[in-house]
Chain A
Amino acid sequence: MSTQIRPAPVRKNIFVDASQDHAFEIFTSGMGVWWPKSHKLSEAELDAQIIEPKEGGRWYQRNLDGSECEIGSVAAWEPPARVLLIWQLNAQWTFDPDLKTEVEVRFAPEGSGTRVELEHRNLERLGDSAEGFREAIDSSGGWGALLKLFAEEAAR
């Protein structure tokens, strides 16, 4: 389809003053601690966010009321250098078993610490669900409202 847009992957990297092992450990086992609390998947209070430490493992949130919310799965488990996660949350922030986007995280020793590189890719697969997302953030006057938001953020 010639009109399909293919967004570039989201790429981030950050340096942490810790060993490769430690960085990997905190990223995976400690995810529940650092994951932004505003991004829970349920109304219930979040208890833990769990990445099962094996290929094919689940990636999910457990709530205090005992309910669980899937996020995706583990496609590759290579401590302490790399983990490949499958992100199956759509633009409405709900689990969609048919949607698969990849989040690859690499940990490389650098100087006294570790460089952590993250890539979230296959974003074009968010396609149809993103339409509603656009409407949601579009509500206060169209694309211009979004631009204004960006401009303010960029100017900070």
Chain B
Amino acid sequence: MANASRVFAALHDPTRRAVLERLRDGPRPVNEIARGLPVTRPAVSQHLKILKEAGLVSDRSEGTRRIYYVDPKGLGAMRAWLDQFWDSALSAFAAEVERASKEEKK
């Protein structure tokens, strides 16, 4: 998984995909997200943290609760796309460095 992007890594876990699916219909607090999922609430919070770091969800305070929602502007998707873009660009860069180095040694 060393080269997999953070977003792909975030979504690799089926529970995290389930968590994200539950936010498709609108913002929800943790306890509602956790309801019906086969994991504990702290585990759901941990999954939300990883999704947040990947730019896929965000949160806001409502009284004493934290409400989670899928990024409304699609920035998570854009970020994921750029993440993938730089992955392939840097791989191509490394390949070119290697090719040019071999050329020099000839």
Chain A residues within 8 Å of B, Cβ to Cβ: 2-8, 10, 12, 14-18, 22-23, 26-27, 30, 33-36, 39, 91, 116, 118, 120, 123-124, 126-128, 130-135, 137-138, 142-144, 146-147, 150-151, 153-155
CB A128 to nearest CB in B, in angstroms, measures 7
Known contacts A6-B58, A7-B79, A18-B101; 11 further A-B pairs (Cβ under 8 A)? A8-B55, A8-B79, A16-B98, A22-B101, A30-B96, A35-B89, A126-B75, A127-B75, A128-B73, A130-B77, A154-B4
CB B56 to nearest CB in A, in angstroms, measures 9
Contact in complex: A143, B79 (CB < 8 Å):
no
A12-B90, A36-B88 given; A22·B97 CB < 8 A: yes
CB nearest to A113 among chain B residues = B97
Contact in complex: B83, A131 (CB < 8 Å):
no
Q: Does B65 contact A (CB under 8 A)?
A: no
Interface string of B48-83 (1 = CB under 8 A from A): 000001110010110000000111111111111111
CB nearest to A146 among chain B residues = B77
CB A26 to nearest CB in B, in angstroms, measures 5
Contact in complex: B54, A8 (CB < 8 Å):
yes
A selection of 20 A-B contacts at a CB cut-off of 8 Å is A3-B72, A4-B58, A5-B73, A6-B55, A7-B71, A12-B83, A16-B94, A17-B98, A17-B101, A18-B98, A30-B96, A30-B100, A34-B96, A91-B74, A126-B78, A128-B73, A134-B77, A144-B21, A154-B9, A155-B12
The A contact surface, by secondary structure, is: helix
Interface size on B, residues (CB 8 A): 49
Q: Which residues of B contact A128 (CB under 8 A)?
A: 73
